[in-house]
Amino acid sequence: MEVADKSTFKWDSKIPTGPLTEKWKTHKNNVKLVNPSNKRKFNIIVVGTGLAGAAAAASLGELGYNVKAFCIQDSARRAHSIAAQGGINAAKNYQNDGDSIWRLFYDTIKGGDYRSREANVYRLAEVSNNIIDQCVAQGVPFAREYGGTLDNRSFGGAQVSRTFYARGQTGQQLLLGAYSALMKTVHSGKVEVRTREEMLDLVTVDGTAKGIISRNLVTGKIERHAADAVLLCTGGYGNVFYLSTNAKNSNVTAAWRCYRKGALFGNPSFTQIHPTCIPVSGEYQSKLTLMSESLRNDGRVWVPKAKGDKRPPNQIPEEERDYYLERIYPSFGNLVPRDVASRNAKNVCDEGRGVGESGLAVYLDFADAIQRDGLKAIQDRYGNLFEMYQKITDENPYEVPMRIYPAVHYTMGGLWVDYNLMTTVPGLFALGEANFSDHGANRLGASALMQGLADGYFVIPYTIGNYLVEVTPGEIDTDHEAFVEAEQKITAELEQLLNIKGSKTILDFHRKLGKIMWDKVGMSRDEEGLKEAIAEISALRKEYWTDVFVPGQQATYNKYLEYAMRVADFLELGELMARDALERPESCGGHFREESKTPEGEAKRDDENYTHVSAWEFTGVDSAPVHHREDLVFENVKLTQRSYK
Amino acid sequence: MSTQDNISVNLKVWRQDGPNDKGRFEDYSLKDVNTHMSFLEMLDVLNENLMKEKKTPIEFDHDCREGICGSCNLVINGIAHGPEARTAACQLHMRHFKDGETITIEPWRATAFPVIKDLVVDRNAFDRIMSAGGYVTVATGNAPDANALPISKVHADSAMDYAICIGCGACVASCPNSSAALFTGAKIAQLSKLPQGEPERKQRVKSMVEQMEKEGFGDCSNFGECEAVCPVGISISAIATMRTEYVKAMFS
C-alpha cells in the first residue's frame, strides 16, 4: 500500500496557527471577503437539504449568493435529519453544572477516541451556542422549564446536561427551522430549490469543481448545472449495510462520484453502530428503527444472568438480572458512549444471554423510572418513542421492557475536508455527515445535529468567500466539453444498467452486500474477515453488472433505476470500507479490531502508529486505491485510554 | 386484527403511467404475508415478485419509514394512511388486516396534488404555501441569547403540538373539499403561540392563506376528517386559530 510521501497529491488541512481557543476567531478575521455587490455574481450549488444543506443554502442566499439547492425527496423538508430524535448539544451551561466550551470540546474529542482534529472540534464546540440562539429565534419550540427557560437532558459520554431537545423530535424541529429559513430565501428569490432531482456526477474543469450532472427523477431527464462552487451536504452512507436506521433513499452516490473525481475519502470504515434500535424481526425487514439514546437517561439495560433464560422478563427476579452497563461502568452506567454500549450488547448476546426470539436483543427497562418519577413524567419525556415502539412491536413498553439491539446508524467517515470544509477538489465543499471531520472514530449522541447546523449556518458562510475571491464567476458554462462528456457518461451508465436484464433483483444484491458488511465490516472486524470481505464484495460487484434486473425505462419516474445506481456505488464503497478497516489494525471508537483489545475487552488504540486520518485516493473501480495519511497533532489534550468506569 | 403469523391478501392497486394518462385499478394477490411486516414492506415484497416476473413494479413514495418524514401517502381501504389512528402508512403493520382480506390502495387525490405515476403525487404546493410566509424572518447570526426571552412552558408545549406536522398531506386527501387548512393552520398556530412569530403575524396569515387558495385547495367546511386521519394528531383547533388570526389581520 502506498503512503503519503510517495504520492503526488497536494493537500493541506489549513488549520490556522495560534492557540486553540483563538484559531477560529483569528481565521474569521483573516479570511478574504467577497464584496456584497460581487456576491450576486456567484452561483453556488448545494446538494442535499438536510440540516447542513438547508442551513447552508439559506445562509448563503441571505448573504446574496445565487443558490440552487437539490434534493432527491419531493420536498426539502423530508431529508433524513428529520428523523433525529434525542437532541442537540451546546455548551450553554444553563444548568450551572460546570459545562463550558472546553468541556464540550474535550468530551467530543475523547468520545471520538482521539481520531479527530483538535481545531475542528474546538470550533464546533465554540459555535454550538450560536446554533441554539439561531434556532430559538426561528421559532423552534424546544422543551422549556415552567419559568420559561430552556430545558436540558443528559446524553451518553458526558457528565453534564447539555442536550437541548424538542420532545423526541428534535431533528424534525431543527430541520423544519432550517427548511423555513430556506423557504424564506426561496421567497426572496435568492435560492431555487430543485426537488426530486439527484446529483449523479460532479463536473470538474482542470481539477476544479464547476458544476454537476443531475437526473430529474420525475421525467428522467439528465440535466447540466454550472456553478462556481459545489457544496455536498448529502449525509451518510450507512445503507451500505442494507439494514440501518437511515431512510430508505439515503445513499452515497453523490459523495462517491466526487471521490471518483479526485476528492479523497476520509476514514471510510468509521461507522457508528447505535446501541438502542428495535431488533430485526424477519427476512422481509426493510429498515431498522432507532429508539433515542435519551431513553438511557431513565431506562436500565439488562439481560438475565443465566444463559438461555427464556422466562418472560417480569418473571426474572431482580437478583437474577445483570444490569451489565451499571456493573462494568459504575461512573457512566447506562450513559456510556454508543460504541461501548453496542459492543457490550453484542458481548452478552454472544455469551448466549440475549433475549427475545432471536436471542439478539437486550432489555431496556423503565419500571424503576416509572416507579420513581411516575407514569406521567415518563410519558412527557418519551411518549412518542414509546408509541412508535408499540406500533412496530405490538408490545407496550410501559409494562414490558423494550427489547433493543445495536444497528448501523451514522458514518463518521466521509469526504476529507480541510479546516475550510473544502475537499481535495478545489471548489467542492462537504458539510455535515457527508464529511469526515469532527467525530473521529465515534460520534457522541446529540452531536450530529450540532455539526450539521454548525457547518451550514456558521462555518461555510465564512470560509466559502475565501475560495470564491480567487474565482472568476460564471467562467464555465454548461456547453463546456466537461459537461458534455459527463452527461454522456451518465446516460450510458443508466442505459447499461437497464440493458443487463439479469435474473436477480437489485434488492437481492443489496441484501447480500449488507450481510457481508455486517458480518465482516461491522461491530467487530479482523484481518481474515476483512480480506474475505474485499474479495467477496469485488465478486458480487462483477455479478451485479452482469446479472441484475433493473425494470422500466430511463425517461420516466423510476425508483428502481435510482436504486440501481445507488447500489452500484455501495458495491464500490463497501470494498473501500473493508480496505480502510484492514489498513488500521488498532481498535478505536466504533472501529473494533479483534486483534487489538485490552485485557478487559475494551478497544485498544495504538497511538504511536495510528494517530492519523486515513484518506483514500481513487485510482479505478477495480484497482487498489492509494492510501494517504494526515497525522493528527494533539497540543491541548493528553491522549489517554478512554475509560468510562 | 390478525393473530396469525402469515396471512394472504388481495390487493387492488391504482396504476397510472404518467400525469396525463388514464389510471386504472390492477389486482394482485400475495400469499404468506408475515403479520409483523409493515405495509410498505408488503409492497416491497409484491414489487420483488413483479420484477422476478420481469413486470413493472408499483411506484410509491417512502423514505424514513419511521412516520416522521411525511413521504408516504397511501389511501388504504378509502382511508388516508389506512385503518390505524395516528399512524402513517409506513408505520402500519399487516397484523391489522385479516386473512383473505381485499385491500384497496390509492394515491392522495386532490387537484393540487397531481399524480406523477401510480401512487406518487406532486406535493410541491405545500412548499409554496410555506415559502409564502411559514417562517420567522431572522438572518443567520442575528439571534439574541436563547434564554433572553422566556416563553412559558404552556405556550412552548402548545406551539410544539402544532409544529409536529409532518407535511404528508393526509388532511388534504381526506377532506371532501381537498382543503389544506389543517396543514396551513398548524404552521400559523405554532408561530402565533411564540413571541418570535409576533412581528410578522398579520402578514404571515394573509400570505399563506392567499397562497393556499391560489394552489387550488378547497375551503374548510368543518368536516373534521383531517384531524381524524392526521398521523401525528394535529388538532383541528389549528384551523380555528388560523381563522381568528386571519380575521384579526384583515380588520385591524
Of A203, A162, A181, nearest in space to A56 by CA: A181
- B61 and chain A in contact, CB less than 8 A: yes
Element holding A529 (H helix, E strand)? helix A527-547
The reply to whether residue A132 touches residue B191, judged by beta carbons under 8 angstroms, is: no
The C-alpha R_g of chain A, in whole angstroms, comes to 24
CATH architecture of the domain covering A274-408 = Alpha-Beta Complex (3.90)
Q: Residues of chain B with pLDDT > 90: what percent? A: 97
Find the helix packing angle between A170-187 and A51-63, rounded to 10°. Answer: 30
Residues linked to residue A435 through DSSP beta bridges, in sequence order: A415
- Chain A residues closer than 8 Å to B52 by CB: 505
The reply to whether residue B138 touches residue A137, judged by beta carbons under 8 angstroms, is: yes
Instruction: For A363-380, give one letter per residue: b (16+ CB within 10 A) or e.
Output: bbbbeebbeeeeeeebee
Rounded average pLDDT over B216-245: 97
Rounded average pLDDT over B50-72: 97
Q: Which residues contact A23 (CB under 8 A, 6 or more apart)?
A: A15, A16, A17, A119, A122, A123
Distance CA A106, CA A425 (A): 31
Are A105 and A636 within 8 A, CB to CB?
no
Residues 321-360 on A with a CB inside 8 Å of B are none
Distance CA B15, CA B25 (A): 6
Rounded average pLDDT over B179-187: 98
Q: How far is A54 from chain B (nearest CA, A)?
A: 12
The ipTM (two decimal places) reads: 0.98
The reply to whether residue A149 touches residue B93, judged by beta carbons under 8 angstroms, is: no
Distance CA A346, CA A354 (A): 9
Q: Which residues contact A208 (CB under 8 A, 6 or more apart)?
A: A425, A426, A427
Distance CA A383, CA A377 (A): 9
- Chain A residues closer than 8 Å to B137 by CB: 184
pLDDT at position A6 is: 44
Element holding A210 (H helix, E strand)? strand A208-216
Of A293, A636, A291, A241, nearest in space to A444 by CA: A293
pLDDT exceeds 50 at position B219: yes
Q: Which fold has domain A481-607?
A: Methane Monooxygenase Hydroxylase; Chain G, domain 1 (1.20.58)
- A645 and chain B in contact, CB less than 8 A: no
Domains of chain B plus CATH, in order, are 6-117 (3.10.20.30), 123-250 (1.10.1060.10)
CA distances from A192 to A70, B81, B128, B245 (A): 9, 31, 12, 30
- Residue A188 is placed in which grid cell? 426572496
- Chain A residues closer than 8 Å to B44 by CB: 284, 286, 507
pLDDT at position B182 is: 98
For B22-139, where are the alpha helices, taking DSSP H only? 39-52, 124-131
pLDDT exceeds 80 at position B200: yes
CATH 1.20.58.100 region(s) of chain A?
A: 481-607
Rounded average pLDDT over B60-71: 97
Distance CA B113, CA B96 (A): 28
Residues linked to residue A269 through DSSP beta bridges, in sequence order: none
Q: Which residues of A are tagged catalytic?
A: 338
- A515 and chain B in contact, CB less than 8 A: no
pLDDT at position B1 is: 65
Q: Where are the beta strands (DSSP E) in A307-453?
A: 321-322, 362-365, 402-411, 414-415, 428-430
CATH 3.90.700.10 region(s) of chain A?
A: 274-408
Encode pLDDT of B80-109 as tens digits. Answer: 999 999 999 999 999 999 999 999 999 999
Give the residues of chain A that fall short of pLDDT 50: 1-6
pLDDT at position A126 is: 98
Rounded average pLDDT over B180-201: 98
| Positive or negative: CA dihedral A552, A555, A556, A561 | positive
